[in-house]
Amino acid sequence: MNQCESMKGKTLVISGATRGIGKAILYRFAEAGADIAFTYNSNEKEAEKIATDVKERFGIRAVAYQLNILEPETYKDLFKLIDEDFKRVDYFVSNAIISGRSVVGGFGPFMRLKPRGLNNIFTATVSAFVVGAQEAAKRMEKVGGGSIVSLSSTGNLVYTPNYAGHGTSKAAVETMVKYAAAELGEKGIRVNAVSGGPIDTDALKAFPNYEEVKAEVVARSPLNRMGLPEDLAGMCWFLCTKECSWLTGQTIVIDGGTSFI
């Protein structure tokens, strides 16, 4: 039996899968046969389009739900809805990230940082991971275990202009992942992070210095290219397979070699 077959009948819950990295992760798991419960924030139309597409292409179950990670406690209501639509939860990927007005004061040079923006990023990155992972773990325990993955970024390893707020919260979520792994292992639940270098997504295109960042990444990477959403999606999927059954509490860095050079 190959790994694709092994995800049949299992369920992935993933936040923020309407575009970018989350969408690539959703498709990777759908291709492997997993049923998918995924969230959007404002883009309901795109979410419905994706649900219809994966159901038709892969013969799986897929349902889209609205979620705002700035209100992490609402994960509890989300999981109650998921309980009605899906029999089990096996994998949880905390992927969604905020942008736009809610990161004002959090995304910018150090001297312009403000507590409100910083707190919003922390809430959306760390607190949302905590509540989502807690709810997922309760369900995983009932089926004998599971795998949880948080997205992170190398903005906590490499200086990235304007990224102090996100980089600091990503460092925090990586530490939270280790604590969760230490305490959930006895329930058969593994917890890891996937940390990406700059990946060509809408989120990155919104950076005021996108072209500059892109040129720098291509120049720094021995592989001579930007990262793609699929580069991170493959690792999220791999971490949820049996191949990784003794891998927990780790951050896997996928950055095209850019953080060494």
Ligand X SMILES: NC(=O)c1ccc[n+]([C@@H]2O[C@H](COP(=O)([O-])OP(=O)(O)OC[C@H]3O[C@@H](n4cnc5c(N)ncnc54)[C@H](OP(=O)(O)O)[C@@H]3O)[C@@H](O)[C@H]2O)c1
Tell me if 196 sits within 8 A of 255, measured CB to CB: yes
Sketch the per residue contact string, 217 through 256, with ligand X: x for CB under 6 A, - otherwise. ----------------------------------------
Please identify, using beta-carbon distances, which residue of 3 and 68 lies nearer to ligand X.
68
* Structure tokens that stand for 113 in this block: 């940082």
- Of 18-26, 103-111, 131-139, 244-252, which segment contacts ligand X by CB under 6 A? 18-26
Out of 10, 11, 26, 40, the residue judged to bind ligand X by CB under 6 A: 40
Out of 196, 235, 237, 253, the residue judged to bind ligand X by CB under 6 A: 196
Does residue number 173 form part of the binding site for ligand X (CB under 6 A)? no
CB of 214 to ligand X, least distance (A): 10
Q: How far apart are CA 54 and CA 36, in angstroms?
A: 9
Q: How far apart are CA 239 and CA 176, in angstroms?
A: 17
Strands (E), 176-247: 189-196
Q: Phi/psi class of residue 203: alpha, beta or left (left: φ > 0; alpha: ψ in -120 to 50)?
A: alpha
R_g over Cα of the chain: 17
CB of 200 to ligand X, least distance (A): 7
Closest CA to 130 of 179, 195, 189: 179
Out of 7, 11, 16, 235, the residue judged to bind ligand X by CB under 6 A: 16
Tell me if 99 sits within 8 A of 203, measured CB to CB: yes
Active centre residues (catalytic): 163, 170
Residues that bind ligand X (CB under 6 A): 15-22, 40-43, 67-70, 95-99, 151, 153, 196, 198-199, 201-204
